[in-house]
Structure 1
Amino acid sequence: MSAPSTPSGAAATIGFDDFLKADIRVGTIVEAAPYPEARKPAIKLTIDFGGAIGLKKSSAQITRHYRPEDLPGRQVLAVVNFPPRQIGKFMSEVLTLGVPDADGEVVLIAPGLPVPDGGRMF
């Protein structure tokens, strides 16, 4: 696997087949709760990806720009085919995607218009 990109440069070039290995889907947040036990401030999310994928959980370090009560109903993009990862006492099943703002804080990635849950990014 190539090294991730850094603020100072891009990651190594990959082939299109490598890109297709990452299953990135859109889902709607149905529940959000504070996760004060996490080492870094985080919010526990339950995201509905519809169809065969269904509900998945994610721990996201998004507390700078988002409050749990404002997140249900919001669509987000997530990698759904990584293995689950233990985050403290919480099992995160998907990687919710974001990009850093000017201060390095996470801003969620979402479609610009409503789309059906479970749609794969291409």
Structure 2
Amino acid sequence: MTKQQIWNLYETYAEAWKLASSEEREQALAQIIDDSIQYLTPEFQGGREAILNDMESFRKKFPGAHFAVEDMSSHHDVALFTWALVLADGSVPAKGHDSLRLSPEGKIVSITTFPPSGPKPLP
């Protein structure tokens, strides 16, 4: 896949978080994620259902918010993205990262979300 194709794939994923209905989110995900998807965040772990549950939780916690894609690095079948949480008022309280693995068919087979970085842990 080209860098542009990978970017477009991830933007479709980020846009799915904005969709109002669970049916719309399910349809958007069906286009871009593999059936064997592995999803891992600090709060969620699983497959397609975990992503949908996370999206529903996000929509309830942050009405009108969305994710903006800031940058990307990729090689082989792995891509790393920086995202920004944009609240309904336009403020950006957090930025984090998603690491993706891609199938040869061009679908996402794993997503690992990293919350905002923190300072070095104290001993």
TM-score by length of 2: 0.27
Question: Which has more helix, going by share of residues?
Answer: 2
Q: TM-score, normalised by structure 1?
A: 0.27
